[in-house]
Amino acid sequence: MGYKTYEFTSHNNLIHSGRYLYGGFSYEFGNQYLNRVQFQVSNSNREVKLDILYVSAATAANIYYDFAIQTISLKKYTHYFGLHVGNDFNLNFFPKIDARNLLWFNQSFTGISMMSKYKLNNNNRIDFSTHIPILSTILHNRLNRLTSEIPGNRLIQSYSGLANKLFNADAEIGYIFSKFGFGWGIYYQIEINRMSETASNRLTGIAQSASLRIIY
């Protein structure tokens, strides 16, 4: 769980802010060639006491794949460098901007993956990973929240760009330990997603979270 905000530059205000919950699954395999597949779903609501039909909400589904090669291997420290690809689907409702429609966008991206593992002892270690985007593509449109029709029969919009226009990065650090016969991880994660069609039309989303994970 954590805290998530969205800010729209052209409206010069914060259009969404609130706590969010997320859950997911990650599978990692390989040593010299490390592979990781991760799936995550999250939902957040704006922190205002209004009629629930008019509370801003944001729901996201993310899937990522990393392929990284071991570049540094010491007695207690291992570092990987490689390729990161992913896809994010977001469904947002911002009544201050458009009370009738949902705004959805699907963002796919390719970038750099860096992962590090530091072994403290036989049962404890620290993990760090970050993803830096290079090229991203977004498909987006609006959807009537009651009829599910596209307003005005508008075509799906497409937008591609490098990191200076479309920036979707994340980083996390975790402490892994053994307790009660299980492996546990306490993680801090930050995500930044910025879409800049023009200097005055920019949507920025920032999410920070802390999580408890079962490692097996």
Q: What per-residue confidence (pLDDT) applies to 46? A: 67
Q: Is residue 39 a contact partner of residue 24, using CB atoms and an 8 Å limit?
A: yes
Q: What is the mean pLDDT of residues 15-41?
A: 90
Which run of H or E residues covers position 11? none
124-160 pLDDT per residue, tens: 999 999 999 999 998 888 877 777 677 777 778 888 8
Which residues have CB under 8 Å from 74's CB, separation 6+? none
**Does the structure show a pLDDT above 90 at 177?**
yes
* pLDDT, the chain, mean: 85
Q: What per-residue confidence (pLDDT) applies to 51? A: 45
The sign of the dihedral angle between the CA atoms of 59, 171, 83, 122 is negative
- Locate tokens 């995500």: which residue? 191
Q: What per-residue confidence (pLDDT) applies to 10? A: 63
- Whole-angstrom distance, CA of residue 88 vs CA of residue 168: 9
69-127 pLDDT per residue, tens: 999 999 899 999 999 999 999 888 776 667 777 888 899 999 999 999 999 998 899 99
- Whole-angstrom distance, CA of residue 139 vs CA of residue 85: 16
- β partners of residue 178: 183
**Does the structure show a pLDDT above 60 at 5?**
yes
Q: What per-residue confidence (pLDDT) applies to 96? A: 65
Which run of H or E residues covers position 212? strand 201-215
Q: What per-residue confidence (pLDDT) applies to 52? A: 44
Question: What letter would DSSP give residue 153?
Answer: G
Q: Is residue 41 a contact partner of residue 64, using CB atoms and an 8 Å limit?
A: no
- What value does the CA radius of gyration of the chain take, rounded to a whole number of Å? 19
Angle at 205 between CA 204 and CA 210, to 5 degrees: 155
